[in-house]
Homo-oligomer: A and B are copies of this chain.
Amino acid sequence: MKLPVTVLAASLIQIVTTGEAIAGSSNADQTKPNFILIVADDLGFADLSLNGSKQIPTPHIDRLAQEGVNFTQGYVSSPVCAPSRAGLMTGKNQVRFGFDNNLTPENQPGFDPDFKGLPLSEKTIADLLKPLGYVSGLVGKWHLGYATHHHPLNRGFDEFWGYQGGGHDYFRSEPDGVGYLSPIESNYKTPQPITYLTDDKGDECVDFIRRHKDQPFFLFASFNAPHGPMQATEDDLELFKHIENVRRRTYCAMVHRLDVNVGRIMETLKEEGLEENTLVVFISDNGGPCNQNASINAPLNGQKGILLEGGIRVPFIMKYKGQLPEGKTIHHPVISLDFAPTFLELAGRRLVEEDDFDGVNLMPYLTGQVKEAPHENLFWRFTISAAIRDGDWKLVRLPDRLPMLYNLAKDISEQNDVALLNLGRTLNMLKQLGEWDVTLPHPLFFEGAEWKKRQVDLYDREYQLIQPD
C-alpha cells in the first residue's frame, strides 16, 4: 500500500520524535496521543512540595514530576494571566500580535472593542489539532476575549464548561451575575450550582476524559486556583489551621485542593488505560502575586506583574509515560510557547514556516536525541518593561533606570546587578532586545496608564534603588 505523503511524513516524525515505531498501526488515530494541559493560576514557584514547600504537600503534582520531566527553568511569556494564556494557546509570543496586557471589561476610548481578545489572525492549539482529528475541551477560565468571535467555541474548542473572564468566586455563581459571580457556561450540559469550583472543574475534567477516551483529545484544564478571591472549604482550612496568617492558610488550602484534583485527573487516565497515550503538562500561568494571595516565589525575586524571575519562572512539568524519561530534571530554559509545536508534531503534523511559532517541539530535546538547549535566547515584553535571557544571563529593561543584568547561574535571586561590570554583554543584550522590540506591532488594547506606574512601583519594592546624587 502506498501511503499518502502527509500520512507518511506524520508517521516519520513520530518515529523521529518518540524513537518508537508506530507507523505500522492500521488506525492512525489510535497512535495520536492525548494532551492534557493543566494550568494553575497565580501559583507561587515555591508552593509545591516538589519545589521545597514544607507547608503545602502536593503529592499528586510532585508525582507528575517523579514520573515525568521537571523543568527548573520553565517560563511563561508574560507575568500576567491573559497575555500568558494568549502565548500558551498559540505558541507565539503574544506581543507579536499586540496582546500586551490583561483585558479589562471597560473599553478604552479610541480602541475598537472588537479587537479586545485573541486576534482572529491567530490559531489556538485547539484550532491546530482539529484537522488532525482531535476533540478539544476547555474546562475553566478563558480570559482571551469577551466578544462572540473571541468565545472559546469559536476558537477551536468543541466543548466549554467555564467562564470567559479572568477569575471566579469559588462557591457561588448567579444567573444574572457579572464578573466573579457570572454564571457558569457550558455547551454540553446544564451546569449545576457550584460546590467548590476547583472540585467542579476536576469533575468536568474527569467527565471529559471518560467521554472522549476513544478519540484523540486535547483537554485544557484551566484551573483558577490559587488566584483570588481567597476562598477555601472548611475541611481544607482545617488541614492548615496551624498557619496563623489567614490569607496564607487559605492559599495553602486552595493549592491543596488543586493538587487533589490533579490527582483525580491522573487517576482517571490510569483507570481508562490512557496513561501511556497521554501527554500531561502542568504549569502556572504566571508567578505568584505574593502581596495579593500570600504566595511564595523563593528563591526567585519579584512576583506576578514584573519580569524578574518571580513573575515569569513557574512550576513546569511534563509527563508522558513510556515516551518521556521518568524523574528527569531539565535545567535548560524552556517556555510555555513550546507546547503548541510539541503537541502538533506529536499529533503527526510536520511544522511549517507559516506556523511561525516562537516555541519549539521539546520532544527531541527530552528524549536525548538533541543535546543542545532548546532556546538560544528568550524575549519578553510587558507594557513598559522588556527582558532577554541569553544563556545564563538575563537583562531587564525599564524606562526609569539603567538596564539590569544578572547571571542567573550564580544569582538565581537577581540580587546583584552586574550590568556596568559587563558593559559589552549589556550592550549586546540591549541591542538584541531592542532589535526585537522595535519590530513588534502596536498593542491592540491597553489597561491604561496606571499599569505602567504600578510596574515601576513593584520593581522598586524589590530593590533599594541607587540614590542619585
Contacts and interface: CB of A to CB of B under 8 A. Distances in A.
A397 B110 CA distance: 27
A456 interface: yes
Interface in A416-456: 420, 423-428, 430-431, 433-435, 437-446, 448-449, 452-453, 455-456
Contact of A384 (B438, B441, B443): B438
A66 to B, nearest CB: 43
Interface string A268-301: 0000000000000000000000000000000000
Given A428-B469, A440-B449, A452-B438, A399 B433 contact: yes
Contacts of A420: 420, 423
A112 B115 contact: no
A226 B431 CA distance: 35
Q: How large is the interface on A (under 10, 10 to 19, 20 to 34, 35 or more residues)?
A: 35 or more
B428 A468 contact: yes
Nearest to A115: B110
A109 interface: yes
Given A448-B442, A453-B439, A430 B400 contact: yes
Number of copies: 2
B400 A403 contact: no
Among A110, A114, A427, chain B packs the most CB atoms within 10 A around the CB of A110
Among A425, A426, A465, A469, chain B packs the most CB atoms within 10 A around the CB of A469
Nearest to A114: B110
A424 B469 contact: yes
A433 B114 CA distance: 34
Interface string A306-322: 00000000000000000
B386 A402 contact: no
Contacts of A110: 98, 111-112, 114-115, 442, 444-445
A112 B109 CA distance: 8
A401 B427 CA distance: 6
Interface string A7-42: 000000000000000000000000000000000000
A466 interface: yes
Given A115-B109, A420-B420, A438-B452, A430 B402 contact: yes
Interface in A123-177: none
B449 A441 contact: yes
A108 interface: yes
Interface of A: 98, 108-112, 114-115, 384, 386, 397-403, 420, 423-428, 430-431, 433-435, 437-446, 448-449, 452-453, 455-456, 465-466, 468-469
Q: 4 closest pairs, A vs B, by CB?
A: A400-B434, A424-B469, A428-B468, A110-B115
